[in-house]
Amino acid sequence: MITAIEEAAVERIVDRLAGIRKTGGKKAGEGIGPSPSVDAGCLEAGFRRVSKRCWSQEVTLSLLVTLANPKSEEARRKGINPLIQAIVQLLLDQKLDLEISALQPVNWREVTNEDDHAEGKIRYLIKMSTSFEIEKQDDEVVTDLLTVGLSYLLKPGDAVADATDIIDLPDLPKG
């Protein structure tokens, strides 16, 4: 569900705001190409017990918005301010066709570093909150989740895809 939230949020923004594009998971300081851009990550969450086997996972969706304008700081701010407001409005009270609570704004702040500034960029981090319910799973489901997660670990020097959507688990010894 976490990845689905990230992807659906970026898809909504990119589909609705002409000219803005997905960053592609680049961190601050990495080259991102044309501007403006957005990337999303669920980087923190909390939990609240709902019943004996069910919890509410309360997630903070973080959106990194970048705008490059070499003219001036004033031009960058005049460009990014409407983008911030538009993105908040696009996501406000949205469920993104997922089984989550409606997105609510938490805060936004400038996160431009010195390298960004030298390159004529300005970056803002917008935080939105949502939640969804999770249930305690049996060991087989947990093993599946671990297998998927571990398949994304990079193996230096090989040409094999590091992740797959199909998981074949060997018979596990009882014990």
What are phi and psi for residue 173, nearest 5 degrees?
-65, 145
Residues 164 and 175 in one domain: yes
The structure's pTM equals 0.76
Q: Indicate whether 70 and 116 sit together in one domain.
A: yes
Residues 98 and 150 in one domain: no
Q: Are residues 125 and 167 in the same domain?
A: no
Rounded Cα–Cα distance for residues 72 and 82 (Å):
17
In angstroms, how far is CA 76 from the centroid of its own chain?
A: 24
* DSSP E strand stretches across the chain: 21-22, 37-51, 54-68, 104-110, 121-135
What residues contact 128, with CB distance under 8 A and at least 6 apart? 9, 60, 61, 63, 88, 91, 103, 104, 105, 106
Whether residues 142 and 127 fall in one domain: no
Coil, helix or strand for 103?
Answer: coil
Query: Residue 144 and residue 6: Cα distance in Å, rounded?
Result: 21
pLDDT at 167 over 50: no
- Kindly give, in sequence order, each residue whose CB lies less than 8 Å from that of residue 144, ignoring residues fewer than 6 positions away: 167, 169
Task: Verify that 169 and 94 share a domain, yes or no.
Answer: no
Number of domain units in the chain: 2
Pair 39, 119 in one domain: yes
- 151 and 131 belong to one structural domain: no
Share the mean pLDDT of the chain: 81
Tell me which of 68 and 175 has the higher pLDDT: 68
73 and 105 co-located in one domain: yes
Residues 36-87 pLDDT 10s: 899 999 999 999 999 998 999 999 999 999 988 777 778 777 888 889 999 9
Do residues 55 and 86 share a domain? yes
Q: Are residues 6 and 41 in contact, defined by beta-carbon separation less than 8 angstroms?
A: yes
Same domain membership, residue 44 and residue 122: yes
Are 119 and 164 in a shared domain?
no
Pairing of strands 21-22, 37-51: parallel
* Domain extent at residue 9: 2-136
